[in-house]
Amino acid sequence: MVVENDANCAAWAERMLGPGRARGGEHDLLYVVMGTGIGSGLVLHGQVHRGAWGTGGEIGHTQVPGSGRLCGCGNRGCLEAVAGGRALASVALEMAKASPSSRLGRLRARQGALSAWDLLREAEAGDAPSVEVRDRAGLAVGGVLGSAVNLLGVPEVVLGGRLLYRAPGLVSAIRKGFREAVLPQVRSRARLRHARGWEHRNAVGAMLLAQQNAKGQAKGAGRGRPAGGF
Ligand SMILES: [Zn+2]
């Protein structure tokens, strides 16, 4: 049995139930979940693409030039270490410590802690240092997503995850980074859109994907091929 990560499940739910389904064909897509980390699921040629080691499509661990921050994976400079919720919270804390009289500094004094959402809310309220961190994070995410479209040729990137709720400024920065990175000749066609009901899609996707895997195994057994083989 294959235990899928949430992003693969959500990607598959989008493949099977999302608006792209109506366009028919194979409907390739990249699904990105922005939460404490940055997860992603890739559907290529009508299949969840896991690659040789099961780590395929993990855009959260793409290297971002100019960042040396330590990532949870052990590498430095990953996108997740720049723009994941955990990373934003730790940057907010560093900023608050460095400048206790700033808005984040005063917020930390009142609350005792800071979250990524605190930083995003302060950015939405116009706090310049928070805006700078948010925009840098959003542009980095958008840039990596645009590069992923160039590399893979997927026509659609779907964004989900708690970090995007009530953070239109972050979404704008992601869109800007995406537009700047996508090849000019496909810029008008490459889609970047919000997921709808992503939290349910994980569960629905898990079910649909389990069905798909079971079908693949039955087919593979019938043909003497390894289960789930491409
Ligand atoms: Zn990493």
- Cα–Cα distance between 208 and 16 in angstroms, integer? 8
Instruction: Give the H or E element holding residue 178.
Output: helix 168-181
Each residue's pLDDT tens digit, 132-176: 999 999 999 999 999 999 999 999 999 998 888 879 999 999 999
Residue 135 lies in a domain: yes
Residue 56 lies in a domain: yes
Distance from Cα 164 to the centre of ligand 1, integer Å = 20
| CA dist 95 → 60, 72, 88 (Å) | 23, 21, 10
Locate 166 and state its tokens. Answer: 């009530």
- Cα–Cα distance between 15 and 11 in angstroms, integer? 6
Distance from Cα 133 to the centre of ligand 1, integer Å = 19
Number of neighbouring beta carbons within 10 Å of residue 97: 12
Residue 230 lies in a domain: no
Residue 61 lies in a domain: yes
Residue 157 lies in a domain: yes
Which amino acid is residue 198, in one-letter code?
W
Q: Which of residues 215 and 183 earns the better pLDDT score? A: 183
Distance from Cα 70 to the centre of ligand 1, integer Å = 8
Distance from Cα 80 to the centre of ligand 1, integer Å = 6
Q: Which residues lie across from 43 on neighbouring strands? A: 29, 48
Which amino acid is residue 202, in one-letter code?
N
Each residue's pLDDT tens digit, 66-110: 888 999 999 999 999 999 999 999 999 999 999 999 999 999 999
**pLDDT reported for residue 5:** 78
Which amino acid is residue 102, in one-letter code?
S
CATH code, domain carrying 50: 3.30.420.40
Lowest mean pLDDT among 47-61, 106-120, 211-225: 211-225
Locate 10 and state its tokens. Answer: 């959500």
Please tell me the pTM assigned to this model: 0.85
- Name, of 9-18, 23-32, 87-96, 187-196, the range with top average pLDDT: 87-96
Domain count, the chain: 1
Domain that holds residue 190: 6-223
**pLDDT band per the 50, 70, 90 thresholds, residue 224:** very low
Distance from Cα 77 to the centre of ligand 1, integer Å = 7
Residue 191 has pLDDT above 70, yes or no: yes
Residue 229 lies in a domain: no
Distance from Cα 58 to the centre of ligand 1, integer Å = 9
**pLDDT reported for residue 203:** 63
- Cα–Cα distance between 15 and 28 in angstroms, integer? 7
Distance from Cα 102 to the centre of ligand 1, integer Å = 30
Distance from Cα 185 to the centre of ligand 1, integer Å = 31
Average pLDDT, the chain: 86
Distance from Cα 36 to the centre of ligand 1, integer Å = 13
Residue 78 lies in a domain: yes
Count CA atoms within 13 Å of residue 229 on its CB side: 9
Three-state secondary structure string covering 131-170? HHHHHHHHHHHHHHHHHHHHHHCCCEEEEECHHHCCCHHH
**pLDDT band per the 50, 70, 90 thresholds, residue 54:** confident
**pLDDT reported for residue 219:** 53
Residue 1 lies in a domain: no
Distance from Cα 217 to the centre of ligand 1, integer Å = 32
